[in-house]
Chain A
Amino acid sequence: MRGSLMLAARLARRELRGGLKGFRIFLGCIALGVAAIAAVGSISSSMLSGLEKNGRVLLGGEVELRLIHRAATAEELAWMEEHSSEISTTAEMRAMARSSANPDDRRLVEMKAVDDAYPLYGSFGIEPEIGITEALAKDGGLWGAVADESLLSNLGMEIGDELQVGDVRYRIRGTVGYEPDRATRIFTLGPRLLVSRASLAESGLEQPGSLIYYHYRMTLPEGVGYDAWKAELEADHPRAGWRLRDLDTAAPGIERFVERVSLFMTLVGLTALLVGGVGVANAVRSYLDSKTATIATLKCLGAPGRLVFQVYLLQVLALSLLGIAAGLVLGGITPSLAGPLLSQQLNFTITGGLHLQPLALAALFGVLTTLAFGLWPLARAQGLPAATLFRDLVAPARSRPPNWALVAIAAAGGALIATAVLGTSDSLFALGFVGGAIAALLAFRLAALGVTDLARRLPRPRHPGLRLAVANLHRPGNPTGSVVMSLGLGVTVLVAIALIQGNLNRQVVEEMPRDAPGFYFIDIQPEQIEAFDALVLETEGVSKLDRVPMLRGRIVAVNGVSPGDMEIPSEIGWVFRGDRGLTWAETPPDNGEIVEGAWWPADYGGPPLVSLDAEVGELLDLHPGDRLTINILGRDVEVEIANLREIEWGDLQINFVMIFSPGLLEAAPQTHIATVQIAPDKETLLERRVTDAFPNISAIRVKEALESFAQVLRSISVAVTATAGVTVISGVLVLAGAIAAGHHRRIYDSVVLKVLGATRARIGAAFLMEYGLIGAITAIIATIIGCIAGYIVVTEVMESDFAFMAGPVLVTALGATAITLAFGFLGTWRALAQKAAPLLRNE
């Protein structure tokens, strides 16, 4: 066996000396697909390792404790100081900032109040270059502040101007150049305003129940490990209700985000490789077709079929490795190229460097694709009868590969699917995606067979050009199947992405629910309720006001079991991930239907009950009577589930996963949150009136919040579309290959037609009609399958309403037809330029 392999390797090497002619498309397909997967994997690894390396800077310390609504008590603070070598305290909240010069100009800001120790790691960049302490210090009776450039341009201010937040006036001393610990948040509702921790105390914003996040970042004392530190913390303060983060969980949100996006993009890259697989199969087949004489000669000289198979398998693998190497180089250097750009976007350093694991995965994908698509023609070549040397072959004998080859093809395909599914973070999603891609490939194969069959059965068209075009669709060796499959899958992905993106955008921005509120008002103090309600309702244009009390709490146990010990489905992971808003009510909300259990009586006075989101109940098998433990303001409260409530999250009304019965929360410090529906032209008026009367209340414009969300969506969709573009380029490569493969036949056809008196225009028109037909058919089938895929993703995965969008779909479909026509035209042009005489003399 070994000797035979050595001999095969020797023969393969001799054949490969002939050069790579005929394998350019093959190399391109493999390199492109591998490059896409390697690039996505490398960038995501670079980002994750960037997160890891910059953990201290991103977290702002080695450990962080976060409290909501309340600052740490003196006792807690003393513990922290005793158990750390350094400590920095910051408080973050949303607040309204007003220009002192033009008090009517105001803007919601993400305010961060920092102490003198901030930042413990990294450095805060300010423009112009001044120290952070100096920038924020009180000078001449005015506190200093540093703001995002966008806040200044929004309020028409410059450095040196004054700005008011709550009861405090600040002088802007500079703009934010670099904020080391900012990256951990993806969505923000407004520009950053950095102030001193001491100034916050004077602002009047620090009220009981106000939504303020207090962060305590610490450096661990010398010689103390994190686990020991954590154990001591839990022993001394078991019920503080703070969230603890360490270096491993510095930015879990970003980590999840990176993993999600890279999963999706890896799968899109895999689609590119699958499309390329069609090109691989075509290239291997036409290479082996050109080697018919050599194979037959080898057999005549006594080579067994197995040796022939080995010789060509080794060649194909060698070339595949060449393509993979090119792809790995391309993909491997992307982090170095894209790193600086991404670092800027994401606000943390992304380093280049090689990441072996994603590269190895991409290489494996490349090898498995080569095998899955190349084995079929290779196995058939093994069965090529040597007798072909003695006969003029009209069409090479086509036969089914032997059974062992079918098993090998299935094994390679299975390994490809398994790698795709197991190598990603969400196996189920990957399985669905790969299953969909394979189903689409099969659908295209069937569709192509249908088209060729239909073309065969069609009554002969009278127009000679059209007749030739239709005949070319089904003649032996037609490119219909390759073109439909290769270009089709790419176009399907593009159509599906265009539809998903369009639907997302529509929901987020374009088609806001008609009764969507114009504003959220937060941090309304209980004593301001009456005055707030009166002021809002007497404002012109206001059609509806909803106001509920709100405080935040975290689920710490379900029927006595900590969420950390439970298997929580990913759809509802967010419910347990951090603090959730809680409210209490006597009567059920208008926008939630009770699906199990019953609402409590309006005058209920018994032990605390809770109304829970029906989806959480369903996925965790929770029913009325089950018990939840919630930590509110550092106290664990056990409540019984009274009912499950269906929530319509898309309506942008105030919704709560948990609504408590009266009696438990009224006494706790809390603020109210309100939504207001208002005529759009009166929005500014209302914002001014409310924030003038109540400087501590913040107004969030729903449109602006959605716009900032849509902005993030747009950046993601650019990346996804770019990756999907690779699929189309792959498809175009395969298309070009298929057209090139038929080039000789086309030259022959055109020469014979010229001899018979056809003009160049007529021949050209016939060829173009053929490609136009293939392109149009591909576009139609791809559009249908793409729409189905988009529909499934939008309705099943994203669980929202689907709207068909003719615009992007039409553009994609027409683009596909145009590409096919363009390449067909190029090929045809070259064929038509061929002089007839030399060809005929040779014949």
Chain B
Amino acid sequence: MPDVTQTTSQEELMISLQDLRLTYANAAGGVEVLRGIDLSVAAGETLSIVGPSGSGKSSMLMIVAGLEQASGGAVRIAGRDFGGLSEDALAEFRRDNIGIVFQNFHLIPTMTALENVAVPLEFAGRDDAFGRAEEVLTQVGLGHRTDHYPGQLSGGEQQRVALARAFAVRPKLLLADEPTGNLDGETGGKVIDLLFDLQRDADTTLLLITHDPALAERCARQIKLVDGHIVDDSAAVNGRTEATAAAT
């Protein structure tokens, strides 16, 4: 497999995975989930990951988010080596650099839309947490629903709040795990449009997991994961120039 990083220095890469391995221990022995992944993603690049259930997509995303510890290999995100970082150091890194959007939204039910969006800003100790939160909520078209609780919002609205929350800290990297999985086609389409708009405005690197080939196509680069291996990388076929261009 050709190495797209040849033309990009380590510092300019947003994601650098080398020989990434993940094994879960269980009673029956070990289950190898990721079996030596090598992946480089340049800053500002959009990348979709497809693959059947159990292929290791979510596991890879979790490792990139610092939510799961790799069993082997090297992980470098936004120039920071994850090796040896404590759980709390990873949490702080995530707070400052990474936004995550889930299939199930995962808004905090006891907080209003505004408070949900403000939380990561509050974690970062930002004095303008609520001002910025309101600004982003207006940006996603929910400026009039800031005081509503998640239970009072539709699925699409909830996912827009989740997007606002993910973009509020202006993350360098956005991770999205099946962001339209729980939405109907039309609502999902609007949410995705919004996601790409926000990504483009902030020049955020995007890592998107999806089962939907059309959605995957909207990313500049697609990879396919099967059984813990990358079996297909569009950059190897037609994305090389684009990826390299994006990185430079």
CA distance A18 to B95 in the complex (A): 26
Taking a contact as CB atoms under 8 Å apart, the answer to whether B61 and A390 are in contact is: yes
Given A386-B67, A389-B102, A390-B61, decide whether A302 and B109 contact each other with a Cβ distance below 8 A.
no
The CA-CA distance from A128 to B96 in the complex, in Å, is 88
Q: How far apart sit A301 and B87, CA to CA, in the bound complex (Å)?
A: 13
Contact A14 B110 (CB under 8 A): yes
Contact of A122 with B by CB under 8 A? no
Given A3-B125, A390-B61, A300-B68 contact (CB < 8 Å): no
Q: Establish whether residues A300 and B65, one from each chain, have CB atoms under 8 Å apart when the complex forms.
A: yes
Q: Quick check: B111 and A302 within 8 Å, CB to CB? A: no
Complex Cα distance, B41 from A151, in Å, reads 103
Taking the closest CB of chain B, its distance from the CB of A694, in whole angstroms, is 86
Complex: A14 Cα to B109 Cα, angstroms:
10
Q: Does A356 contact B (CB under 8 A)?
A: no
Q: For residue A302, which residues in chain B have a CB less than 8 angstroms away from its CB?
A: 91-96, 120, 123-124
Contact call B111/A14, Cβ cutoff below 8 A: yes
Q: Could you say which residues of chain A place their CB within 8 Å of the CB of B165?
A: 301
The answer to whether A298 touches B119 (Cβ under 8 A) is yes
The answer on a CB contact under 8 Å between A385 and B67 is: yes
A303-311, A526-534, A805-813: which lies at the interface = A303-311
CA distance A620 to B199 in the complex (A): 88
Check A390 against B108 for contact (C-beta < 8 Å). no
Interface string of A688-699 (1 = CB under 8 A from B): 000000000000
Question: Is residue B100 within 8 Å, beta carbon to beta carbon, of the partner chain?
Answer: yes
Tell me if B123 and A305 are in contact (CB < 8 A): no
- Is A457 engaged at the interface, CB distance under 8 Å to the other chain? no
Alpha-carbon distance A14/B67, docked complex (angstroms): 25
| B window 71-112: CB within 8 A of A | 87-88, 91-96, 100, 102, 104, 106-111
List the interface of chain A (C-beta within 8 A of B). Answer: 3, 7, 10-11, 14-18, 293-294, 296-307, 385-387, 389-391
Q: What secondary structure prevails in chain B residues at the interface with A?
A: helix
Contact flag A299-B91 (CB < 8 Å), given A7-B123, A14-B115, A387-B68? yes
Write out the residue numbers on chain B whose beta carbons fall within 8 Å of the beta carbon of A10. 122
Given contacts A303-B95, A304-B87, 8 further A-B pairs with CB under 8 A are A7-B123, A14-B110, A16-B110, A297-B108, A301-B95, A302-B92, A304-B92, A305-B88
Among the listed A294, A296, A390, which residue makes an inter-chain contact with B110, where contact means beta carbons less than 8 Å apart?
A: A294
Quick check: is B45 within 8 A (CB to CB) of the other chain? no
- Beta-carbon contact of A18 and B67 below 8 Å: no
**A-B interface, 10 closest residue pairs, ranked by CB to CB distance from nearest:** A302-B95, A304-B88, A18-B110, A301-B120, A15-B110, A297-B106, A302-B94, A387-B67, A386-B67, A304-B91
How many angstroms from the CA of A296 to the CA of B87 in the assembled complex?
A: 13
Shortest Cβ distance from A6 into B: residue? B122
Query: A387 CA to B175 CA in the complex, in Å?
Result: 14
Assembled-state Cα–Cα distance A11/B95 (Å): 16
A303 touches B91 (CB 8 A): yes
Bound form: Cα–Cα A527–B104 in Å: 104
Sampled A-B contacts (18; CB under 8 Å)? A3-B125, A11-B122, A14-B108, A14-B111, A15-B111, A293-B106, A299-B67, A300-B100, A300-B106, A301-B95, A301-B123, A302-B93, A303-B95, A307-B123, A385-B67, A387-B62, A387-B67, A389-B102
User: Taking the complex as formed, is B134 at the interface, i.e. its CB lies under 8 A from any CB of chain A?
Assistant: no
Could you give, for residues 169-194 of chain B, a 1 whenever the CB lies within 8 Å of some chain A CB and a 0 otherwise?
00000000100000000000000000
Cα(A11)–Cα(B91), bound, Å: 17
Closest Cβ of chain B: how far from A286's Cβ, in Å?
16
In the complex, chain B residues whose CB is within 8 Å of the CB of A294: 108-110
Whether B58 is near chain A, meaning CB under 8 Å from some CB there, is yes
Among residues of B, the one whose C-beta sits closest to the C-beta of A386 is B67
For B125, the closest partner residue in chain A by CB is A3
- A692 → chain B, closest Cβ, in Å? 87
B177 nearest CB neighbor, chain A only: A390
The answer to whether B123 and A18 have CB atoms under 8 Å apart is no
Complex: A690 Cα to B120 Cα, angstroms:
96
Complexed CA–CA distance, A495 and B22 (Å): 56
- Chain B residues 5-25 with CB under 8 Å of chain A are none
Whether the pair B88, A306 counts as a contact (CB closer than 8 A) is yes
- A15 and B115 CA atoms in complex are apart in Å by 11
Chain A residue contacts of B107, Cβ below 8 A: 297
* Residues of B close to A301: CB separation below 8 A: 94-95, 100, 119-120, 123, 165
User: Which residues of chain B come closer than 8 Å to A385, judged between CB atoms?
Assistant: 67-68
CB distance from A338 to the nearest CB of B (A): 41
Task: Please report the C-alpha to C-alpha distance between residue A374 and residue B44 in the assembled complex, in whole angstroms.
Answer: 46
Name, among A11, A293, A306, A386, the residue most crowded by chain B CB atoms within 10 Å (CB to CB).
A386
Tell me the minimal C-beta distance from B42 to chain A in angstroms. Answer: 24
Chain B proximity of A659: nearest CB distance (Å):
78
Beta-carbon contacts of B123-164 to A below 8 Å, as 1s and 0s?
111000000000000000000000000000000000000000
Please, which residues of chain B bring their CB within 8 A of the CB of A304? 87-88, 91-92
- What's the Cα separation between A16 and B62 when bound, in Å? 30
Q: Decide if B91 touches A390 in the complex (CB within 8 Å).
A: no
Mask: chain B, 33-44; 1 = CB below 8 Å from A; 0 = not: 000000000000
Q: For the complex, what is the distance from the CA of A388 to the CA of B124, rounded to whole Å? A: 23
Query: In the complex, which residue of chain A has the Cβ closest to the Cβ of B57?
Result: A390
Contact partner of A18 (CB less than 8 A), chosen from B62, B96, B109, B122, is B109
Residue picked from A15, A293, A303, most chain B C-beta under 10 Å: A303
The docked-state distance in angstroms from the alpha carbon of A11 to that of B165 is: 16
